[in-house]
Structure 1
Amino acid sequence: MAEGNVAADELRLLIERIERLEEEKKAIADDVKDVYLEAKARGYDTKTMRAIVRLRKMENHVRQEADALLETYRQALGLD
Structure 2
Amino acid sequence: MSDIGHNSEATTGGIAADRLRSIIERIERLEEERKALASDIKDIFTEAKSAGFDVKVIRQIIRLRKQEPAEVEEQETLLDIYKRALGM
TM-score range relative to shorter protein:
0.7 to 0.9
Residue 18 of structure 2 corresponds to residue 13 of structure 1: no
Hey, what does 1:39 align to over in structure 2? 48
TM (norm. structure 2) is 0.80
Identify unmatched segments of 5+ residues in structure 1: none
Provide TM-score, normalisation by structure 1.
0.88
The one-letter code matched in structure 1 to 2:47 is: E
Cα drift, residue 38 of structure 1: 0.4
Q: Show structure 1 runs of 4+ deviating over 6 A.
A: none
Candidates 29, 35, 51, aligned match of 2:60: 51
Amino acid at match of 1:53: I
Q: Deviations over 1:39-71 (max 9, x none)?
A: 101111111111111111111111111111111
Percent identity of the aligned residues?
53
| Paired letter, 1:16 | E
More strand by share: 2
Write the mapping of 1:67-78 to structure 2, written as runs, cut at 5 A.
67-78=76-87
The match for 2:71 among 52, 62, 75 is: 62
* Higher Cα radius of gyration: 2
